[in-house]
Amino acid sequence: PAKGMSTEDYAANFNDFLDVAGDQEWFFWYGAREPHRRYEYGSAVGAGKKLEMIKHVPAFWPDTETVRNDMLDYAFEIEHADKHLGLMIQSLEKRGLLGNTMILMTSDNGMPFPRCKAQEYEYSNHMPLAIMWPKGIKNPGRSVDDMVSFIDFAPTFLDVAGIPFSESGMQPSPGISLTDIFDAEKAGQVNPERDFVVIGKERHDYSRPNNAGYPIRGIVGKDHLYLY
């Protein structure tokens, strides 16, 4: 759809993977190249999108036509990646695998814009997260307010697979399994004692000249973000 997008057919690759996996249990990581930069400027508008679709420009960016185009081109690439995920979900459904497949969708860092990616502010660390598992999550459709970190994913996958963390060979981690959330009936916060997560950075994405480091440590709470 645009020059900056990959020509890889992610959904077709997933189907090839499923053919090889057969009846054995599997783990598949779909990591699209989109929405990494660089974007083809105006590609979203060229595809019929409207700048008015951008309802909010963060106050720390100038609200200009150039910025709105950049945001829309970014969203256009996200839409491309989401389309392939939708095709993968359709494949699972056709194969009768959707009910017992856990699908976890998230992002690995903030948007590739100033004060987002390669920083530690709100837009750097507050990522979208949706988890689908028809046979394993009670009361689906809930929105959960628990503080969750990426370090929780590995303990969750091991827990679901019935593998004790101590036998996994992984380095000890403060992460916790999210199965308590899966088993809960209510929305809101499931584990009230976990009211913060810690974050940190050494360097990221050549965001300083010569890839110089810029160490940051932080604590994210419900209403506050402290960075040192």
Each residue's pLDDT tens digit in the chain (228 positions)? 999 899 999 999 999 999 999 999 999 999 999 999 999 999 999 999 999 999 999 999 999 999 999 999 999 999 999 999 999 999 999 999 999 999 999 998 899 999 999 899 999 999 999 999 999 999 988 888 899 999 999 999 999 999 998 898 988 888 999 999 999 988 888 988 888 999 999 988 777 888 899 999 999 998 899 999
Nearest-angstrom CA–CA distance, 195 and 192: 6
- Residues 213 and 167 sit within 8 Å (Cβ to Cβ): no
- For helices 10-21 and 65-94, give the axis angle rounded to 10 degrees: 20
The residues, ordered by sequence, that sit 6+ positions from 140 with a Cβ below 8 Å of its Cβ are 132, 134
Q: Both ends of the chain: CA-CA distance in Å?
A: 42
Identify the bridge partners of residue 200 per DSSP, sorted by sequence position: 217
Element at 171 (helix H, strand E)? none
Nearest residue to 27 (alpha-carbon basis) of 160, 182, 210: 160
The pLDDT, as a whole number, for residue 174 is 86
C-alpha to C-alpha distance for 166 and 175, rounded to whole angstroms: 13
**Residue closest to 57 by CA, chosen among 34, 40, 75, 36:** 75
Q: What is the per-residue pLDDT for 95? A: 97
> Residue 43 contacts by C-beta under 8 Å, 6 or more apart in sequence?
1, 2, 3, 4, 73, 76
Smallest CA-to-CA distance from 212 within 203, 201, 220, 200 is with: 203
Identify the pLDDT of residue 165.
87
